[in-house]
Amino acid sequence: MIEVSFDGAALSNPGLAGGGIYIKDGKGHEMRCALPFGILSSNHEAEFAACVAALRIALENNYRTVSFRTDSQLVNQALEKRYVKNSLYAAYLKDALHYIDQFDLFFANGFRINKIKMRMLSQDQPLNNKMKNKDRGLQLMNRKRVLIADSALLGITFVWGTTFIVVQNILDKLTPLTFNAWRFLIAALFLLFWQYMRRKKVRIY
């Protein structure tokens, strides 16, 4: 599941506007995009512009199952109902729906799936089976995350519980200053390696 978060804002109504997009895939890879929009009429228009840009970028990266998240209630309602009253935003919504219909699965704020996609899947048995397989995969992924979290908590408890015994034995052979020096050195090397493995990519459009 690809997680996409976006937001947009304008300095005034109208005013200079911009948006930001954050994308994270199931493997922990991250992408951040800064989007200058120029002069727009309001924050709402900037949020719609950011939504369209986020959808376009997701498709350009060949993402097929995505979960979109935004704090804009107006954008959420427009995507869910496939309708917006303001004609200015209608053009953005039209582009957004054009992109949305190209995804295999599309979730808005993690809960709502595109209604047209649901009807298509219920009418087409092969696609319906495909959706069931994807749902089963999502359930397995969620179980895996819970297992990892529980295992991490158990590991922390074990390390914390054995720390006192280990420290007591080590201090019989090393001075406190030497022990702390080695302790912080090992921790620093571990954090450097962890940061290298999780290095982040920043893309500016």
Instruction: For 35-60, write each residue's pLDDT tens digit.
Output: 899 888 898 999 999 999 999 999 99
Sign, CA dihedral 194-196-197-200, equals: positive
Q: What is the pLDDT of residues 155-192, one digit of tens each?
A: 888 888 888 888 888 888 888 888 889 889 998 998 88
Residue 145 has pLDDT above 80, yes or no: no
Query: pLDDT for 163-172, tens place per residue?
Result: 888 888 888 8
Q: Where are the domains of the chain?
A: 2-123, 128-163
Q: How confident is the model at residue 122 (pLDDT cuts 50, 70, 90)?
A: very low
pLDDT, position 47: 93
* CATH fold of 2-123: Nucleotidyltransferase; domain 5 (3.30.420)
Q: What is the dihedral of CA 138, 140, 143, 145, to 10 degrees?
A: -70
| Strand runs labelled E in the chain | 2-10, 15-24, 30-40, 65-69, 105-108, 112-113, 201-204
